[in-house]
Structure 1
Amino acid sequence: MSDTARWPSPWVRAALDLAVLASLTEGPLHGYAIGQTLAAHGFGLLKGGSLYPVLGRLEEAGSVEAAWVEGSGGPGRREYHLTSAGRDRLDRELASWRDLGATLTTMGTRAVRNG
């Protein structure tokens, strides 16, 4: 896990909602575990002030749902899971990101050939 992001911070901010949704595809996670998953995938260590507003927006939009889970031997915590609307949003937005990447690659390739 890295303290620093693999990509520039504006890119990480732009992709954060989508990355949080993607982190939940394997099952429910609490906020800290979402942050650790994102860090392990190159998003750097996120501060709670970055992550929890995203989770709030995603919950308000119906893309994730949260439930309070009692801790075994420790404090309870909110656990987030992807809703079917969230899965649909993830699929749509991933397709858009792929399209953007392909467009940028095409544009860059042309610039190299013409440069």
Structure 2
Amino acid sequence: MPWWSWLLIWCVLTLGLCAVLGWFAVALYRKARGTLQALEFLSDQVSAIDFDLSTATSSFGSAVFADSAVLLHNVEQHRAERTHRRQLRRDRLIVRGKLMRTARYDTR
């Protein structure tokens, strides 16, 4: 092969590499710009929330000196709330299952 063919091959390969790197750089720039816009939107939403940390109470309490009737009531209340949440989740799954079974697809 003549020397100019090697020069032509390497020039084409180098230009192709530069084009691919440029394409990656543009794609990365667009993704970074989109991420920054999403972060700006999120920061606007977070700043709109009014946090009142002064009234936050600690849910931790020592059980050593607490009244056993109060502790039993708290445990029963927690169990009832958990049972209620499970029932709500089960009802949602049943409704979704019924909707999925009877769903009709629009074939327009």
Name the TM-score class by shorter chain. 0.3 to 0.5
Name which one, 1 or 2, has greater alpha-carbon Rg. 2
Going by fraction, where is helix more abundant, 1 or 2?
2
Q: TM-score by structure 1 length?
A: 0.32
Going by fraction, where is strand more abundant, 1 or 2?
1
Of structures 1 and 2, the one with the larger relative CO (CA 8 A, separation 6+) is 1
